[in-house]
Structure 1
């Protein structure tokens, strides 16, 4: 994935946006169902979805795995701060950390923190070992601060329409 993604060369039309919205809600939706929902031929749908993937609009379809169900009940967000800003340290971190077992995501951010690393581990001891073995001993890393995640809430998605406001609906009926 490019470091600074650019918008697709070809703008998304209403059909593309409808396909993306449906895939975001249910990535397992069949081509036939997508085509029916959007009102296009299955062959057209297949070509459009393939184009969305090739253009980088749809970056992948992923399973949302419950870490607890697979023996990793301890989730944490680890804030990592570098002591200097040597490009080689950042490049190595960016290349290696997302590949480590238990890493759910890594985010290069602005501000006082350089990266947030989201992990799921088997235990508090495993979390401590992960931080010591894989983060604090890296070249350039000055500080790592771990915050346990007590509850994880999933957002509605990039293109989800706004939820209806129950109070607004009641006012409309009055």
Structure 2
């Protein structure tokens, strides 16, 4: 679907880099001084390491996380999608189209029994149903879908 375009070579991280990544994963708005203090290094060293992680591509971007419930999207679901065997050439277009749909938080291209998983956030079960009907059941490339409701989710430790 989309590649990074980077050579496949793992970056070498030491303990301080790993701790810095874990701290930023938990809160990317922390100041350089607070990061340096917690890591026990000089602010200039911390900034140099942060810049090196960015320059090497280990940190690809800083972002925010929106709470969909605060926006009235009380229900989250995972929709597993299989593409028809004769429509495999449409997979890239399908992925681009789904990424642009309101409510789609994440899209995963898979190897295995399913081709894609869509993570959607909507107001209620009627909205999930309507999303599936309008965007998946009506799509000639889609063979089957299976929807699972998300009751709770969280993030890992952020440690690498």
Same fold (TM over 0.5): yes
Considering Cα pairs closer than 8 Å and 6+ residues apart, tell me whether 1 or 2 has the greater RCO: 2
Q: Displacement of 1:139 after TM fit? A: 4.6
Q: Say which SS state the counterpart of residue 54 (structure 2) adopts.
A: helix
Measure the CA separation in 1 of the matches of 2:54 and 2:134.
Answer: 36
Is the CA contact 2:82–2:115 (under 8 Å) kept in the aligned structure 1?
yes
Structure 2: segments with no counterpart, 5+ residues = none
Q: Residue in 1 aligned with 2:45?
A: 44
In the alignment, does 2:123 pair up with 1:118? no
Q: Residue in 2 aligned with 1:21?
A: 22
Q: Say which SS state the counterpart of residue 78 (structure 1) adopts.
A: strand
Compute the TM-score of the two structures, normalised by the length of structure 2: 0.83
Give aligned pairs, total.
158
Measure the CA separation in 1 of the matches of 2:28 and 2:86.
Answer: 38
In the alignment, does 2:159 pair up with 1:159? yes
Instruction: Detail structure 1 runs of 4+ shifted over 6 Å in the superposition.
Output: none
Q: Which has the larger radius of gyration?
A: 1
Is the CA contact 1:89–1:139 (under 8 Å) kept in the aligned structure 2?
no
Structure 1: segments with no counterpart, 5+ residues = 161-174
In the alignment, does 2:128 pair up with 1:131? no
